[in-house]
Each structure stands twice: as C-alpha cells, then as structure tokens.
Amino acid sequence: SGTDPRVVGKANRILQEVSRIELLTKRLLDLVRVGTILRSATDPAALAREVAARKSFSVEVIADAAPTSWSLDAPRIEQVLENLID
C-alpha cells in the first residue's frame, strides 16, 4: 500500500514552511545581534536601487524626496532592504 499523495503534499508543505521560518529567524537574529554600528554618508536611494536591481522580479524605487546623503550603516540597511523586498 502506498502513501496518500495528499499526506505527502501536506508534509512537503510543512517542511517548506519550517525551512522558511528557520531562514527568517536566522536573518532576524543576524539583524539584532549586538555590534558596532559603522555609520557613513550614504545615498539611501542608490542603496535601495542596488538592492532592487539584484532581484529577479521588478521592484520600483520611488525616492524623489529622499536625501542625497544620510549617515547610516549601509550593510545593515542593505540587509533590512533585502528582507523587506523579499
């Protein structure tokens, strides 16, 4: 006797969701880890466009009112943008 395909499908879905939650948890923990914040003058709109350009789907960045330079930790903000867009 074989396994019910519906059961296999549900089990696969559960495994996919567990993997997704594990990745999300890891990313959140990476984001909140205590560490030195290294601020530098950064163009936030350019940073957002760079992250958007790496996606396999279309992301429109509307940054008309964004400042041309902002003191921020670019790698951390880049990770935040990655997570938000994903």
- Position 1 scores a pLDDT of 55
- Position 26 scores a pLDDT of 84
Q: For the chain, first and last CA: distance in Å?
A: 41
| More confident site: 28 or 67 | 67
Residue with tokens 């992250």: 51
Q: pLDDT tens digits, residue range 3-61?
A: 888 999 999 999 999 998 998 888 778 777 767 788 999 999 999 999 999 999 999 99
Give the global pTM: 0.60
> 50 in helix, strand or coil?
helix
- Position 34 scores a pLDDT of 66
| More confident site: 1 or 83 | 83
